[in-house]
Amino acid sequence: MSTYLNLDGNEAAARMAYLGSEVIAIYPITPSSNMGEWADEWAAQGKPNLWGVVPRIIEMQSEGGAAGALHGALTSGALGTSFTASQGLLLFVPNLYKMAGELTPFVLHVAARALATHALSIFGDHSDVMACRATGCALLASNSVQEAQDMALIAQAATLAGRIPVIHFFDGFRSSHEVAKIVAVAPDTVRAMIDDTLVAAHRARALSPEHPVIRGTAQNPDVFFQSRERINPCYDAFPAIVQAAMDRFAALTGRRYRLFDYVGASDAERLIVVMGSAAETVEETVAHLTARGEKVGLLKLRLFRPLAVEAMLGAIPDSVTRIAVLDRCKEPGAGGEPLYKDVMTAFAEAAADGRRPMPRIIGGRYGLASKEFTPGMVKAIFDELRSAYPRRQFTVGIVDDVTHLSVEWDADFRTDASRRLQHAVFWGLGADGTVSANKNSIKIVGEATALHAQGYFVYDSKKSGAVTVSHLRFGPDPIRSAYLVEEGMAGFVACHQTVFVERYDLLAHAAPGGVFLLNTPVAKDAVWASLPAAMRAGILSRGLRLWVIDAYAVAQQAGMGRRINTIMQTCFFAISGILPRGEALAAIKKAVDKTYGKKSKRLADLNHKAIDLTLAGLHEVSFPGLLDLGDAALDSTAAADLPPFVRDFTLPVYRGEGNRLPVSAMPLDGTFPSGTARHEKRNIALEIPVWEADLCTQCGKCVFVCPHSAIRARAFPLEAATDAPPTFKHVPTRSKDFPSGTRISYQVAPEDCTGCGDCVEACPIHDKSNISRLAVNMAPLAPLRDAERANFDFFLNLPEYDRSQLKQGTLPGAMLLDPLFEFSGACAGCGETPYIRLATQLFGDRMLVANATGCSSIYGANLPSTPYTVNGAGRGPAWSNSLFEDNAEFGLGMRLAADQLMLYAKMLVKETATGIGGDLAEALITADQRPEAGIRAQRERVAELRARLARCDHPRATELESVAEWLIRRSVWIIGGDGWAYDIGYGGLDHVLALSHDVNILVLDTEVYSNTGGQTSKATPVGAVARFSAGGKATAKKDLARIASDYGHVYVATVAYGAKDVHTLKVFHEAEAYAGPSLIVAYSPCIAHGVDMLYNQRQQDMAVKSGHWPLFRHDPRLEATGANPFKLDSAAPSQPMQAFMDSETRFAMLARSHPEVARQLAAEAQQEADRRYRAYAELAARPATPKPE
C-alpha cells in the first residue's frame, strides 16, 4: 500500500538526496535554501542516511566554496550532494566542468531560478540551469513535487552507474514551494535503487595514499583535445543509463518515466515540447483539448543533457507537423532559445537524412521569473500553431507592444480538470499564521481522505506587513494545475484581515455561488453595511454567500491572544464541507497536538478550546438581494500631481496590476527613478507615535532610531508655519544655536510608519509628574491619520534648514538633516535601516552606494519601491546592486570611476584654464572637498564653470562640460550584511581594505543571513541557534573589525546605536572624513534573533554591556600623530552574557532543546566576551608611539 506525504518539492527532493549522501555541502540561496535546512535539521536530529550514518552537513562561505568542498569530498570517495539555484549555481559552474570532466558521480539539486540581469529576481525560470548546459553535467528536469522526489532518486542511481554528474532541477517556487500530496518512495525502494557495488566502485576510484593516482593535471595542446573526446562514450551511454534507472524505478513503484514522455492524441498534428512544471499545465490542457477532438500533444522532456535525439524523435508521433518548443529562459541575441534550437537541429538532421519530414517548428518564451503560465496560454500556443503563418519566435504571458512577439490568450479559458477541482483562496498577513494553517489543512485533507491536495503561497516582497495569498486546490485526481487559482474559480475565499477589504480585489477569485469568509470585528448584523460598495456589488453579482467571524475575539476568549490561524482553519473546514465537520474538527485537534507536542500542552489545550469556540462565533450573514448602492463610485483613485512614471508604473504595481503592464512600460535597462516609496502609503501601523512638544527636549533620538524615517525633525522660521494645518505642532527651538524665532517640529509620516514603537523606547524624556508619559507616545492611527497626513504634507514642504548652519556632529543637529532613505520595506523595528538612514542624512547628496544582495538590497530597491530619495535640489544617493559576492569590488569600481573621471576633468580644467579663468581653474583643481562645505563650494564652482563653458569656445569645452560633475567629490558607500562581508564577499572585501582607496564600508551585522531566513554566517555568535547550525553554533564569531584593524591603514569602528548613539554618529563622520578605506561594523538586531524588535535598542545595549559587542575605533590618523590609534569605546562587561543570551530566542531555544550543549556554549560565550574585551583593552592600553620628527 502506498504511503502518501504532503510536502513541498524542496523537502521531497531533499529526502532522497539526504538518504544517498555522506557529505552535504550547503549555502543558502532562495528558493533552494530549504533543502539545505531540511538536511541540517535531520542531521541535528540524528537521522541516518541509507548506510546508517548521519551525513556530515557543512555550510560553506559561498556556493563556490560548497562546490569546492563537494569536489574534494567526491574525489576522495564520499557520496555527496548540494542544493542551489540561480547565482549560486553560476558559482558552481567552474567546478561543474571539473567534476564532469573527471566523471565524478553526484547530483546537484536545483530549484531553478532566474538569473539577475537588469534586475535580480528570486523567482523561477530556467536561466540558471541553461547556463550549465555546456558544463558536461546531465540536466534532468522534474515537473512536479512528486517528480522532484522520484527524479532525485533516479538521478542518484543514474549518476552512480554512468558517472556523469547530474543537475536535477525543478521550477523554483512553483515546484520547490508547492505543497502537494505525493506517493512516498519507500525506504526499500531507495535501497533497491542504489547499487552498493557502484558505490564501492566510486570509493575505489577515490584518491588514496594506499593506491595513489594523480588527478587534475595540466595538459598541453598535444593531448588536451583528445582527452576531451575520450569521454564521449560515457555521454553516448548515459541516456540509456537514465532510462534504465527510470525503468527500475517503475518496476519498484509503478510510476513510469521516460526520457521523453509523450501525452496527447496518437494522431496529433500540433505539439508542444516543454520541460518543468509547465509540462503539467500543458498536459492538463492537452487532455481538455483532445477530449474535444483536437489533434494536439505534448512532449515532456526530462533529460535535456545529454540530449538523446533519437529517443526524442521516436517519442513524437509521425503525424505531428507543427511544433512549438517552449523555453523558460531568454538568450538575448540568439536565433532562439536552447531547447528550441536543439529540437530544431534534431529535426533538421532527421529531415536532411530523409528519415522524417521537416515539421514547422516555432520557439516561445514563457514564465520568466515565475510569470504565470496558464491553460489559456497553452491554448493560445496551439492556436498559434494552427494559424497559416505562426510566428517563428513568440512570447506568451505578457503583452509585448514593442517587438510584438506576444501571442494573445483567453484569460477566461478553463480546463475540465480545473472545473473538477475545489479551489480556495485565503488572504492573510505573513504574521497571522494563514500560510501555516493552510499547509496544515492540506496535510489534514491529504491524510484523512483519498483527495489530492495542492497549496501554493504567494508572498509580497515586504518584510513588514507582508500580504500572503494562499491558493489551495483539492480533487480526486493528482493535480497538475501548476498555476494560481484562476479568477472566478474559488468556491471558498477567505479574508483573514479586515483591512484588506479596502485594499484588494478579494473577490476576483470567487466562483459564482461560492463562499466569502471574512474575519471582522463588526457585528454580524452590521457587517453588510460596513463593506465597501464594490465588495457588496461583487458579492451580489457573483451570488456569494457571506460568512463572518470575529476571529480575534474568539482568540481572546480562548486565551490565544492574537493568534487566529487555528480559528480560521476551523472555519474553512466547517463551511467548505471538504470533510465531515466532526471528522474535520477531530483532525484539526490531532494536528494541533502534533504541532505542540511536548513543547506546550497548554497551547494545545488553548487551541482545542479555540476550535470548539469557533463554531459558536461563525455566522452566515443575510443581506438584501438587490444592489443598494445607487450609483456610488466603486473605485476612485486620485492620481493628480504625480510624476508620469509613478502614475503609469509605480502605482499600478502597488495595486497588484503589474502583470497587466505592457513591455513598453518598462525602462530599457533596469534604471528606475529614486524616491517612489513615498507614494505607497501602506498604512500598516495600528498605532503611530504622537509628539508631545511641551515635554520634548529636541534631542533627536526618536529620529535617530526610526527604521523607516517615519518620524522626522525640521527647523524653520516662524513665518514658514503661517499656513500650517490646525493640528500641526511646532515649538521654539531649545538650542541657542538657532536664530531667535526659529521653530522646530517633530512630525510623523502616519501612513508610512510601521508602528514599531522604537521611537518611544528611545525617548529619554518623562513627564515629571507622570512617568508613563514620554515626549513621544504611541496612539491609535485611525483617529489621527487624516490630520497627520495633512501635517506631514505640510512638513515636507517646509523650507529645508541650511545644512551649513546645523551642528552635524551633535545628535539634535544631525537629526534635523533630511533623510534620503525613507519608507523602505524593512521589518518593523529593523536594526539595519537606521544606519543607512543616518548615512544618507549626513552624506546622501554625494553618495554612490554599492549594495550587496541581501535584506538591504531587497528593502533598498524591491520594485516598485525605491526608498532612496532626493533632497530639494534633486540630489541624493545613487544606488546599485551588482551581486552578493562582489559588492566590495563593485563599490571599488565606483570609486575608481569617480577618481579617474575627476582626474580627467581636472586635466581638462587645466587645459581650458585660459578659457574659463585661471582662478576658477585653480580653485576647481585644488578644492578641499573633504568637509561638506568644501563640496558645497565646489558645486558652486562647477555651476560657474558650466556657465563659463557655455560661453567658451575652447575646443575641449564640450568635453569638459560632459565630465564637469565629476569635479565634485563622491562619497562611495559599500553596504551589505554579514553574509556578504564575513563569508561570500570576504575575499573582495579584504582586497578593498588592503588598498588605499577612499571607500566607506558599512557592514550591517545581523549575525545571520537574514534575507534568506536566518542561516548561520561566520558572524553568528557561539551558542546561537540558526538555520544550518540547528545544534547551536560551536565557534565564536569572527572578529571582522579586529582583522581589518590589523591592516593599520584602515579606519575601523564597531557601533551599536542602541547602546551609544552619539558614538555611532561620531564614527560615521570620522569614516567619511578619512580619505582611505573605512569599515564600520554595525550591530543590527534582527527579528531572526527571536526577540521583539520593539526592544531593538535594549538588545543593542545588552549586547554592549555584556561584552558581546564591544565598541572600538581604530583611526590611522591618530597613529600619524603618534597617538595610539586604538580607542576602546565601551566599558568592561557589566552584565553576564547569560542574561543577554536568555533574552533572545536564538540562544534561549538551545537551552530548551539541548540544555547541556547550551550550558557549555554559554560558558564559552562568556569566555569569548571576556577574552575579546581583554584583548581590546590591551590594544587600547598600548603606549602612544612618539611622533617621528
Partner 1 sequence: MIDLSTDYLGLRLKNPLVPSASPLSKSLDSLLLLEDAGAAAVVLHSLYEEELIAEDAMTERFLLHGELHDAEATGFLPDHGNFQGALERYLEHLRLAKLRLGIPVIASLNGVTPSGWIDLGKELQSAGADALELNVYHVAADPLESGDAVEARYVALLTELRRVVEIPVVMKLSPFFSSLPHFVQRLEEAGAAGVALFNRFFQPDIDLQTREMVEQLHLSSREEALLRIRWIAILRSHTSITLAATGGVYGHEEAMKLLLAGADVVHLASCLLAHGPAHLGHILRGMAAWMEEGEYASVAQLKASMSLGHLRDPSALVRQSYIRVLDSFTPRAGVWR
Catalytic residue numbers, as ranges? 30, 63, 113, 1011
Cβ distance to partner 1 smaller for residue 404 or 594: 594
Cβ distance to partner 1 smaller for residue 32 or 840: 32
Q: How far is the CB of 457 from partner 1 (least distance, A)?
A: 8
Cβ distance to partner 1 smaller for residue 226 or 772: 772
- C-alpha 831/C-alpha 297 separation (Å) is 54
- Window 1005-1034: residues binding partner 1 (CB under 8 A): 1008, 1010-1014, 1025-1027, 1030
- Is there binding between residue 685 and partner 1 (CB under 8 A)? no
- C-alpha 1028/C-alpha 1015 separation (Å) is 6
- Window 748-777: residues binding partner 1 (CB under 8 A): 766, 771
- Window 455-494: residues binding partner 1 (CB under 8 A): 458-463, 466, 468
Cβ distance to partner 1 smaller for residue 321 or 557: 557
- Is there binding between residue 41 and partner 1 (CB under 8 A)? yes
Q: How far is the CB of 1034 from partner 1 (least distance, A)?
A: 15
Task: Output the DSSP codes for 1059-1094.
Answer: T-HHHHHHHHHHHHH-SS-EEEEEE---GGGSS-GG
Closest C-alpha among 470, 473, 482, 424 to residue 452: 473
- Is there binding between residue 603 and partner 1 (CB under 8 A)? yes
- Is there binding between residue 602 and partner 1 (CB under 8 A)? yes
What residues contact 1107, with CB distance under 8 A and at least 6 apart?
1132, 1133, 1137, 1169, 1170, 1172, 1173
- C-alpha 515/C-alpha 577 separation (Å) is 12
Residue 875: left (phi > 0), alpha (psi -120 to 50), or beta?
beta
- Is there binding between residue 598 and partner 1 (CB under 8 A)? yes
Map residues 489-528 to x or -, x wherever contact with partner 1 holds by CB under 8 A: ----------------------------------------
Identity of the residue numbered 1170: D
- Is there binding between residue 858 and partner 1 (CB under 8 A)? yes
**Angle, in degrees to the nearest 10, between helices 601-617 and 565-576:** 50
- Is there binding between residue 606 and partner 1 (CB under 8 A)? yes
- C-alpha 1165/C-alpha 436 separation (Å) is 34
Cβ distance to partner 1 smaller for residue 561 or 670: 561
CB 607 within 8 Å of CB 555: no
- Window 119-138: residues binding partner 1 (CB under 8 A): 122-123
- C-alpha 923/C-alpha 316 separation (Å) is 76
- Alpha carbon 228 to chain centroid distance? 40
Q: Is 659 helix (H, G, I), strand (E, B) or coil?
A: helix
- Alpha-carbon dihedral of residues 309, 310, 316, 320, nearest 10 degrees? 80
Which H helix or E strand runs over 197? helix 196-204
Q: How far is the CB of 893 from partner 1 (least distance, A)?
A: 27
Peptide bond into 31 cis (omega under 30): yes
Cβ distance to partner 1 smaller for residue 819 or 1058: 1058
Q: How far is the CB of 1025 from partner 1 (least distance, A)?
A: 6
Closest C-alpha among 191, 184, 122 to residue 157: 191
Q: How far is the CB of 428 from partner 1 (least distance, A)?
A: 10
Cβ distance to partner 1 smaller for residue 66 or 435: 435
Closest C-alpha among 371, 361, 150, 383 to residue 285: 383
Closest C-alpha among 356, 371, 575 to residue 458: 371
CB 1067 within 8 Å of CB 807: no
- Is there binding between residue 374 and partner 1 (CB under 8 A)? no
Cβ distance to partner 1 smaller for residue 154 or 858: 858
- Is there binding between residue 44 and partner 1 (CB under 8 A)? yes
Instruction: Give the count of beta carbons closer than 10 Å to the beta carbon of residue 15.
Output: 23
Binding footprint of partner 1, residue count (CB under 8 A): 65
Give the CA distances from residue 672 to residues 32, 878, 915, 1158, in Å, rounded to whole numbers and listed in that order.
Answer: 29, 11, 37, 48
- Window 1136-1155: residues binding partner 1 (CB under 8 A): 1145-1146, 1148-1149, 1152-1153
Task: Report the residue count for the chain.
Answer: 1189
CB 480 within 8 Å of CB 181: no
- Is there binding between residue 435 and partner 1 (CB under 8 A)? yes
- C-alpha 591/C-alpha 1080 separation (Å) is 48
CB 1148 within 8 Å of CB 1141: yes
Instruction: Give the count of beta carbons closer than 10 Å to the beta carbon of residue 322.
Output: 20
Map residues 556-595 to x or -, x wherever contact with partner 1 holds by CB under 8 A: ---x-x-x-x-----------------------------x
Cβ distance to partner 1 smaller for residue 559 or 577: 559
Closest C-alpha among 891, 847, 851 to residue 869: 847
- Window 818-857: residues binding partner 1 (CB under 8 A): 827
In the chain, what is the greatest distance between 2 CA atoms, to the nearest angstrom? 98
C-alpha cell at 919: 582662478
Cβ distance to partner 1 smaller for residue 677 or 848: 677
What residues contact 708, with CB distance under 8 A and at least 6 apart?
749, 752, 753, 754, 756, 822, 823, 824, 826, 830, 833
- Is there binding between residue 436 and partner 1 (CB under 8 A)? yes
What residues contact 208, with CB distance under 8 A and at least 6 apart?
76, 77
Q: Looking at 77-85, 155-163, 382-390, 1003-1011, which segment touches partner 1 (CB under 8 A)?
A: 1003-1011
Cβ distance to partner 1 smaller for residue 75 or 1084: 1084
What residues contact 280, with CB distance under 8 A and at least 6 apart?
143, 144, 480, 481, 482
- C-alpha 933/C-alpha 875 separation (Å) is 16
- Is there binding between residue 1158 and partner 1 (CB under 8 A)? no
Cβ distance to partner 1 smaller for residue 463 or 846: 463
Among positions 431, 499, 639, 1131, the unique one binding partner 1 when judged by CB under 8 A: 431
Map residues 1082-1101 to x or -, x wherever contact with partner 1 holds by CB under 8 A: -----xx-x-----------
Cβ distance to partner 1 smaller for residue 45 or 76: 45
- Alpha-carbon dihedral of residues 621, 623, 625, 628, nearest 10 degrees? -140
- Is there binding between residue 173 and partner 1 (CB under 8 A)? yes
Q: How far is the CB of 430 from partner 1 (least distance, A)?
A: 5
Residues engaged in binding partner 1 (CB under 8 A): 30-31, 33-34, 37, 40-41, 44-45, 122-123, 173, 177, 430-431, 433, 435-436, 458-463, 466, 468, 559, 561, 563, 565, 595-603, 605-606, 609, 766, 771, 827, 858, 1008, 1010-1014, 1025-1027, 1030, 1087-1088, 1090, 1145-1146, 1148-1149, 1152-1153
